Amino acid sequence: QKEVEQDPGPLSVPEGAIVSLNCTYSNSAFQYFMWYRQYSRKGPELLMYTYSSGNKEDGRFTAQVDKSSKYISLFIRDSQPSDSATYLCAMSLTFQGAQKLVFGQGTRLTINP
């Protein structure tokens, strides 16, 4: 079993739809939870970051963490074609004095105009 599981999709939705992306994890030692966005042929960039259970909102994006269920989600409201990208969840734990990140497989998202 992988430490982090993420449905690879692909996921295709119409513009304006609400998008829900999800990951589950097995290691309860994970401390920080992140979502990275990766455009084609680019490196991933940090989108959302949280360390506690609950919701965190940033504009059209909401990150949700449920530590009891070992489940995290990213919601995108009023989705735009520019949101089309691969979304990777990532989780980290302290190892040898730094944060070791474990990434999900990534979900490829397409927003259709």
Positions in the binding site for another protein (CB under 8 A): 6, 8, 32, 34, 41-46, 49, 88, 90, 92, 94-106
49, 22, 25, 24: which is closest to 35 by C-alpha?
49
For the bound state, the minimum distance from the C-beta of residue 16 to another protein, rounded and expressed in Å, comes to: 28
User: Which of 17, 73 has the CB closer to another protein?
Assistant: 73
Is residue 108 classed as helix, strand or coil in its secondary structure? strand
For the bound state, the minimum distance from the C-beta of residue 85 to another protein, rounded and expressed in Å, comes to: 13
Residues 6+ positions from 36 with CB-CB distance below 8 Å:
44, 45, 46, 47, 87, 88, 89, 90, 103
| Proportion of the chain in helix, strand, coil states, percent, rounded to 5 | 5, 60, 40
User: Which of 14, 97 has the CB closer to another protein?
Assistant: 97
User: Which of 17, 93 has the CB closer to another protein?
Assistant: 93
For the bound state, the minimum distance from the C-beta of residue 78 to another protein, rounded and expressed in Å, comes to: 26
